[in-house]
Chains A and B, each alone.
Chain A
Amino acid sequence: MSGSLRRTPVGAHYGLREWLAQRVTALVLLAFLLFVAGALIVEGRHDYQGWAAIFAPQPVKLITLLAFAALCYHAWIGVRDIWMDYVHHTGLRLALLTLTILWLLYCLAWAGQILWSV
């Protein structure tokens, strides 16, 4: 029997990875919020030039994209839990889960496109 087949589908440890990922991504998002708030204070100019200057350096673009990725993963776990709790029709739930993944990936790509258009 291969390892993948022995994976326990139910029980106390099922979902632990998502549980942990939700908390780790929450801390990443908190750190990013503090980073943007700090950058706004350091920048000083509260107009387009100041705002665009914050996101101009390549590392900031990458950090922001990472934060959006954390946001999408965080949102995926939360929305997944909502569908699992309230939508009992298997087909409908599968459709909603699939649409949620596609939609979040769409939003992540959109965020990347916005960031690299500056």
Chain B
Amino acid sequence: MTQLPPNRPQPRRQFRNIGIADLINYRLPVPGVISILHRISGLLMFLLLPFLLWLFDLSLSSDRSFDRLVAFCDGTFARLVLLGLGWGLLHHLCAGLRFLLLDLHIGADKPLARRSSWIVFVVSLPLTAVFGLFLFGVIG
């Protein structure tokens, strides 16, 4: 039998077929977080599609409806929904580009895949923050 080296770190707890209650203890690796957020952001945009089409309709129907759109986007609730939509798009876009690169076998080994997951957050979250500052009239 192979002798284990001394001071070997405790092996990570193994999970097989986990139930919903195990999610609290389960430490999802960063690429896993990117992946599930990709799904959540996609579903969010799917659910907000009628809202987006309604805004698109207002923006193009007439100059009066365009003004109504501008007034509507001044409201706090509308801004929060738009911020959510903006985050969804930015995360989905950045994570999606990463998935396309992975499909081309670029950065598919574990350390690189972890680093590129962090890059997705480092790009998408500040861009969301900039969009939020623009939405709430702090900049632009």
Residues of A within 8 A of B100 (CB): 23, 26-27
Interface assignment of A90: CB less than 8 Å from any CB of chain B? no
Interface size for B (C-beta < 8 A) is 21
Chain B positions 43 through 56: 1 when the CB is less than 8 Å from some CB of chain A, otherwise 0: 10110011001001
Query: Which residues in chain A, 40-84, are within 8 Å of chain B measured between CB atoms?
Result: 47-49, 51-52, 55, 75, 78-79, 81-82
Residues of B within 8 A of A79 (CB): 42-43, 46
Which of A33, A51, A82 lies in contact with B59, CB distance below 8 A?
A51
How far apart are the CA atoms of A23 and B45 in the complex, in Å? 17
Give the interface centre of A48, A79, A117, A118 by most chain B CB atoms within 10 Å.
A48
Interface stretch of the complex, out of A5-13, A91-99, A106-114: A106-114
Interface assignment of A105: CB less than 8 Å from any CB of chain B? no
How far apart are the CA atoms of A78 and B46 in the complex, in Å? 9
How far apart are the CA atoms of A115 and B56 in the complex, in Å? 9
Interface assignment of B39: CB less than 8 Å from any CB of chain A? yes
B67 nearest in chain A by CB position: A48
Residues of A within 8 A of B57 (CB): 110, 114
Beyond known contacts A33-B93, A75-B49: 10 more, CB 8 A cutoff:
A23-B100, A30-B93, A47-B66, A48-B62, A48-B63, A55-B60, A79-B46, A107-B49, A107-B50, A110-B57
